[in-house]
Every structure is written in C-alpha cells, then in structure tokens.
Amino acid sequence: MDRLILERLVDKVLTPERVTVMLKEWLAHQAKTQGKNDLELKRLEKVLAEMALVKRDKPSPMKLSAKQVAYACQRMREMLLDASTGYGKQLLGLLVEEIRVAPGVATMTGSTAALNQAVSEMKMGTPLEVPRVVLDWRPEDESNVRPTP
C-alpha cells in the first residue's frame, strides 16, 4: 500500500505541470492574504521591540564572581584588540552607544545592562563569540543601519 501511494504521488501530483498549477494557486492565495499578514507582523514586531527594551534593562538574576568578571574582561580585551576575527567591532557596537571626540578628550557612553549581560554570558571553556544582546532594536526598515567605516 505504501508503494502504491508513493507511486501515485510521484505520477499524479509531483509533475512539473501539476506543481506549477499548485504553486500559482498558492501564490495567488498568499497575495490576497498578504496585506492582513503584513499588518499583523508590524503589530508583533512592535511588541517584540518593546520586550527587547524591557529585557535590556532587567538585572541579571545571578551574581557575578570576581573570577567571572576578570575572565570576561580579559576575553573582551582580546576580542577588541584582535582585528583578524571581526569580533572586536561587533563587541564595540554592543557595548558602546556613543563616542565623542573633542580636542584633547574622547568620551564614550554605553549600556551597563549590555555590559552586565556580556559578562554574564562569557563562561570559561566556551567558544569565543560576541554575546547576543539586542539594544534599541527597531522593526522599521532602514532604522538599524550603522554608518560604514
């Protein structure tokens, strides 16, 4: 019985002609419902953006040991100074929100919440990667672009 069903599927349904018709019908149906789906996606993206902002400032539930902080600082230092991996640029973008340069002085501002999460996520014995933190994520197109170097 299994073989008969598979043969009918291949012979009657999975032909280029039949698949083309099925896909055209599906695409027409998708086009009709796309407007409603787009509105729902925008609504959900707004909720996700709000959740990300709330989560960003949520304190870490765990206390960080001095050993963990020292390890994370060393690891972040290595990441920032190693130009070959690209991790440094990503980590800088994660931790630093603004850099201002004036004659004789440069100041940086950033998110302590992002720093806390980065330190919390860096564990000894884990592969080297940039922590994942969403800061000020915006769902609109072109609102998250960064200047090119």
Q: What is the mean pLDDT of each run of 10 residues along the chain (149 residues)?
A: 73 81 83 83 85 70 77 86 83 86 86 80 65 49 51
Provide the domain count of the chain: 2
**In terms of domains, do 84 and 118 share one?**
yes
**In terms of domains, do 36 and 68 share one?**
no
Quick one: pLDDT at residue 135?
A: 46
CA angle 77, 82, 85 (to 5 degrees): 120
**In terms of domains, do 48 and 79 share one?**
no
Quick one: pLDDT at residue 123?
A: 75
**In terms of domains, do 32 and 73 share one?**
no
**In terms of domains, do 33 and 10 share one?**
yes
Contacts for 56-62: CB closer than 8 Å, 24+ residues apart = 56/111, 56/113, 56/114, 56/133, 56/134, 56/135, 57/113, 58/113, 59/113, 59/116, 60/116, 60/117, 60/120, 62/120
- For residue 121, give its domain range: 60-149
Quick one: pLDDT at residue 149?
A: 52
**In terms of domains, do 43 and 83 share one?**
no
Quick one: pLDDT at residue 95?
A: 85
Measured CA distances, 125 to 14, 121, 128 (Å): 49, 12, 9
